[in-house]
């Protein structure tokens, strides 16, 4: 497990990698913990999960999800069909062009905050918009694409890692209640430094959709997904994917997407039913490009606490 040097685990990933690679580093404490790395008179500044690699204009452009979609249209990069709104006035008419279920999300934001998926009626869509507006006044409503979410980490035309993102879940044993299974899973997550599966209204609502409660017992080996998003902060997990199992068309698409928005360091969110098949034949999309990708989804993949991705990135940056 990562030894803690600062109050920010995202910075600690790079400190551990720097120590292993014998890269000089200095921690500057403050409002946001800042790390300075130096090797052969070359410097890299890191603050929280933000690396001083990408140019400022590209960062600004990709911080706006709707702008990113417009850029994708220029090069036929598949993305969700959606609309931009600032009010719920005439909402039924506005969303007529979209096929349900729908997704509501703020135009800017990260970590899945303000995002609600699989919405089918106006009442729930309006409620989701109200929540999203707490993050940003401008809202995107888009078509929901069924499939698995993958995160692809890219540095200068090189794919460093791919992980499959999995929503919070438990596996039944025909014995313990869902509450007990969550408790057991949370004990395991705590041991490796992951946040607990969060029991809240969203989780209880998802259980209700399955006509279940926290007291219910599920069959042996049955996987029950507890949320619709796959964010690690609320209990999601990841598993590593070999590039050998990814279709070449998809690999080219990932590089093309990062190059289009001129990001040297990017996290691509890709949704597909089968990553081994070409996106051209599989109704797959680039859901988002993260200009400040964090390494937690890679470090905790398969709960192996593997910091090799940070080491690989620093080796490439400092031209080892």
What percent of the chain clears pLDDT 70, i.e. is strictly above it? 99
Residues 218-227: tens digit of each pLDDT: 999 999 999 9
pLDDT in the model for residue 3? 84
Query: Is the pLDDT score of 86 beyond 70?
Result: yes
- Separation CA 16–CA 24 (nearest Å): 11
pLDDT in the model for residue 111? 67
Q: Phi first, then psi: give them for residue 246, nearest 5 degrees.
A: -110, 130
- In eight-state DSSP terms, residue 177 is B
- All domains of the chain in start order, with CATH: 9-49+298-317 (3.30.160), 81-144 (3.30.1490.20), 168-227 (no CATH)
Residues 57-77: tens digit of each pLDDT: 999 888 888 889 999 999 999
Confidence (pTM) = 0.91
Give Cβ neighbours of residue 121 (< 8 Å, ≥ 6 apart): none
Query: Is the pLDDT score of 180 beyond 90?
Result: yes
CB of 63 closer than 8 Å to CB of 108 = yes
- Separation CA 250–CA 239 (nearest Å): 18
Alpha-carbon distances of 150 from 40, 48, 246, 268, 273, rounded to whole Å? 35, 23, 11, 8, 10
Taking CA 93 as the corner, what is the angle to CA 87 and CA 98, rounded to the nearest 5 degrees? 95
As given in the structure block, the two tokens for residue 272 are 């597909």
């Amino acid at each position: 497990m990562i030894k803690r040097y600062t109050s920010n685990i995202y910075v600690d990933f790079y400190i551990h990698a720097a120590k292993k690679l014998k890269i000089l580093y200095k921690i500057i404490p403050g409002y946001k913990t800042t790390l300075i790395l130096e090797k052969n008179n070359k410097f890299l500044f890191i603050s929280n999960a933000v690396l001083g690699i990408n140019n400022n204009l590209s960062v600004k452009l990709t911080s706006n999800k709707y702008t990113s979609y417009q850029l994708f249209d220029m090069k036929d990069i598949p993305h969700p069909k959606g609309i931009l709104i600032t009010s719920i006035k005439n909402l039924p008419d506005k969303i007529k062009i979209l096929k349900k279920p729908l997704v509501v999300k703020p135009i800017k934001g990260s970590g899945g905050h303000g995002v609600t998926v699989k919405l089918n009626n106006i009442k729930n869509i309006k409620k989701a918009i109200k929540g999203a507006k707490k993050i940003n006044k401008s809202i995107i409503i888009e078509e929901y694409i069924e499939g698995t979410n993958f995160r692809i980490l890219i540095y200068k035309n090189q794919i460093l890692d791919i992980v499959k993102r999995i929503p919070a879940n438990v596996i039944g044993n025909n014995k313990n209640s869902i509450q007990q299974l969550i408790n057991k899973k949370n004990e395991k997550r705590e041991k490796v430094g992951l946040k607990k599966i969060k029991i809240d209204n969203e989780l209880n609502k998802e259980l209700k959709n399955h006509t279940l409660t926290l007291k219910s017992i599920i069959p042996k080996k049955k996987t029950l997904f507890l949320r619709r998003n796959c964010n690690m902060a609320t209990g999601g997990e990841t598993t590593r994917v070999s590039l050998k199992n990814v279709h070449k068309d998809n690999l080219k698409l990932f590089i093309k997407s990062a190059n289009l928005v001129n990001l040297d360091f990017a996290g691509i969110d890709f949704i597909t039913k089968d990553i081994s098949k070409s996106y051209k034949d599989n109704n797959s999309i680039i859901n988002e490009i993260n200009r400040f990708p964090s390494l937690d989804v890679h470090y905790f993949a398969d709960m192996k606490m593997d910091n090799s991705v940070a080491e690989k990135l620093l080796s490439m940056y400092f031209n080892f």
